[in-house]
Structure formats: C-alpha cells, structure tokens
Copies of this chain bind each other. A is one copy, B any other.
C-alpha cells in the first residue's frame, strides 16, 4: 500500500497510527511542526497529542515551533489541553492568544526568517522532534512537502527524529513545485544565488537520512481554508491610491513598467489590495512573497502575473480545490521555498521588492504597530513584515483609517508598540489617501500623514495634538503627558473620540 506515496520501500514499515506516533512526544520536548499560514500543517499527530494530554495525569508541556500559523484548531486544542509551554514564531488562534495575554504561554514573536537561523546556531536549544506533512517520500527518502515549505526543511534537518504525515488529500502533483535551499553554516556561508523570483537554486525535496524518520502517519484532510474577507469599498480605495502611486513612480522613472517583484502580507487588506491590481495597467508582474493567497491566482488567471515565489499557498476553499486540481496550469509560474529564503534580507534587498503589509495602527511620524492591541495584547505576531519592510525598495503599510465604527482611529499620536519604525516605513496608505514619507523629516511626515491618511472624524484631534506637541520642540515633537490620551480614552469609554465629538462614523 501507498507505493506511490512512500516510494522508499524500507520506510513503509514505519507506518503507524497518529496515537502511536504521538507517543514519541514527551514532556519538556522542543517540537518543530510544519505549517505556514494554515497551509501544509500536520493534521493528526498534534491533535492526538492534545487528546493524550487531556487524558493522562502526567504533565505534558512542550515548546512548539512552526513556520507560522496552523489550521484545524490545533493551537486551540493544544492550548486547551495545556500542552503549550512556549510557542514561536507566529499564531492566529483566539484561544491561544488569550492564554498568551494571560502570561500562561510564553510566546516568542519573531521575524519569520530568523527562527531556524537561531535554531541552527543552537540559540533555541536542541530540537527533539519534527512533525512534517508530506505529499510523498521519494525512493531515496526525500520528503516532498505539500502546500507550504515554511520551516519544515530545517526542522527535519535539525531534529533528532522526524514524524511524517503523508496526506492523501494533497495531490502528488505538488512534487516538483518546491525549491529547497538551506544556508550553509557560518562563517563559511556562500551568497544566496537567487537573482530573480523564478530562479531555482535547490532541490525538490527535503533530504534527510531516512533512518531519522521514526514514524509515518497517513492522513486525508485538506488544509483549513483561508479566512480572509472579500474586498470592500475601503480596500478598493486603498488599492486605487496605491495603483495611482505606482503609476506615478513608473512615470517618473523610479520604477520600471513591470514594477519590482511584489510582496503582500497575509490577511484581508493585503489580499484585497493585490486583487485590485487585476484592473491596473501593470503587466508581467512577479511576486517574491511569503504567502500566496487567492489574489496571486486572480492575477495569474487574469494574465497579469507571470511568476510567484512564496513559502506557502493559503487559499479559500474554492480556490484551493481549483488550484490543487489544476496544478499543471500553474506549474511553470510557481515555486514554494523555505521561509528563510522567501524572507531573506539578502534577496529582498537585491530584488528591490515592493512590500505591502498591514498595520494595526500607525502614528503621525510613520511608526507602525503590527502586533499589540492597545500596546499590550498580542494579536498574531510580526510575521514576515519586518523581514520585508526593512529591506524592500518600497515598504508600504496599509490600514483602514478607522475601526469599530469609528471608535478607533488607526492613526494615533504615538503607537504604544513599535514593530516598524520611521526608518523602515516608506508609504502609509488608507482609504483616505496615501502619504509618501521617503526622504522626509518627521515634522514633514506628520503633516502629510494627518492630511492624507486620517479619517475626517479624527483629523482635528490629531491636528490639535500635533500643534500642542510642537510647543515641546524637537526632531519628533511629542507631548509625553498626553501622548496616549486616545488609547486611554478608548479603554475608559470605548471610543478614542473626545467627549462631545461626533461619535459615529455615519455622522462624519
């Protein structure tokens, strides 16, 4: 059985149940699991682990590292079972998030390119076990990843033992889509030889000694579909501002007509904005990104995009079914790489990417908070946004100007948590407009951001703040005594708007 999926005959004897395989996990272990933005995650062993932890009396607490977020409620189940002692580098689960914010799970929020770099340098301890979803294992024992590569390759290489979940729901046609390249150990590391998004520099499979594979589990479940919302009026306006800006850049010779390769962060806004490029004048677009969402395939299908490089494909249910059943149509237009390659500063700087990421909030000087609600409570994590924005030729952050029916302004005097500072933020765009901050001093940025990006509901509030701040002087004027007044007012009253101000967006 499974001759086409486990082509290395010697390994077929390793097939076992998820329950048996989960016995390999012991209290205190460090475990690396496949999965990047819900794609290519393991579907059976972690869930068995959660079940076992609930049933057993012995403590069972582990450090879990992944590529990025998982599907199938795995983070919820593991959290509820009390299995997660430490989690890195990214998550999006509501239950886990609450446990993190109560201080019950130690969450290490990392640039996604850095986790395996640190693991390789022995800075995160020894990796005891890797659990990797695969479409197949080749004759020589090479592991064929599925819809994501993420950190799977380095996890498998660095772990003492490996559990492989062969997922029959992932088509065999995925083989050949991946490009596995792993940086050498310092100090004798060579350049990463990618000169263009379509360059292939590695192998199709994750190559480890077959004897490291301790168990193989057969599964048959598709990836959890993406949860992004469809485009709406605001995201269409954000896309419109952005396309105008890029046309202007091309017209003035600062970008070529094809545009530099695009990166777009995970989520509704980036996905919707990217979809907006279907109606743009740009042709022969390419992507060098971490996650490929529906929008990537919208652009490919529209003949607008000629190549997309990513670390995962995270698609809606419909798109997932269509893409996986028509892989041959996309085969010469796609590659999936390890996330330390998709997010590598070296390549991002060399290619001069346009990086489009989402801000939770940004301040009048261009500092961006991507992670901490109210400056304290973790939402998801920084993800790859820092890898890209620091090194891109143009780092764009998009957000709707208000949230919660106008009770929250996404533009504030000072962000209470900084993930991307003024040095790394080139452009801020909301449905209200776009601020091009490149080459500007903070006082110039403040005027531009307030005038172009803030919602009319908050424009005067922010102008008043800035006018008062100017009295304190400085390169970056602030009134520290009142700098978080909007945040404190929101905590106290449920709205950032001053008392007496128009309290509802509909009245603005």
Contact = CB atoms under 8 A, between A and B. Distances in A.
A391 interface: yes
A157 to B, nearest CB: 17
A372 B346 CA distance: 29
Interface centre among A193, A252, A378 (most CB of B within 10 A): A378
A318 interface: no
Interface in A300-317: none
Contacts of A108: 439-441
A386 B391 CA distance: 11
Interface in A203-232: none
A395 B223 CA distance: 38
A377 B122 contact: no
B103 A350 contact: no
A267 interface: no
Contacts of A107: 441, 475
Contact of A345 (B111, B125, B346): B346
Contact of A416 (B106, B192, B473, B480): B480
Contacts of A500: none
A504 interface: no
Interface centre among A254, A375, A443 (most CB of B within 10 A): A375
Interface centre among A86, A193, A423, A487 (most CB of B within 10 A): A423
Interface in A73-123: 86, 88, 100-103, 106-111, 117-118, 121-123
Given A377-B475, A476-B417, A121 B350 contact: no
Given A186-B351, A375-B476, 19 more contacts: A101-B473, A108-B440, A110-B423, A111-B423, A118-B438, A122-B252, A186-B350, A189-B350, A345-B346, A345-B349, A345-B390, A346-B349, A367-B418, A372-B474, A376-B472, A376-B476, A378-B475, A382-B423, A414-B416
B444 A480 contact: no
A456 interface: no
Contacts of A484: 480-481, 483
A449 to B, nearest CB: 16
Interface in A459-508: 470, 472-478, 480-481, 483-484, 487-488, 491
B196 A187 contact: yes
A397 B252 CA distance: 41
Given A191-B191, A386-B423, A444 B106 contact: yes
B474 A378 contact: yes
A483 to B, nearest CB: 7
B480 A487 contact: yes
Contacts of A351: 186-187, 189
Nearest to A103: B443
B488 A480 contact: yes
A344 B348 CA distance: 12
A406 interface: no
A352 interface: yes
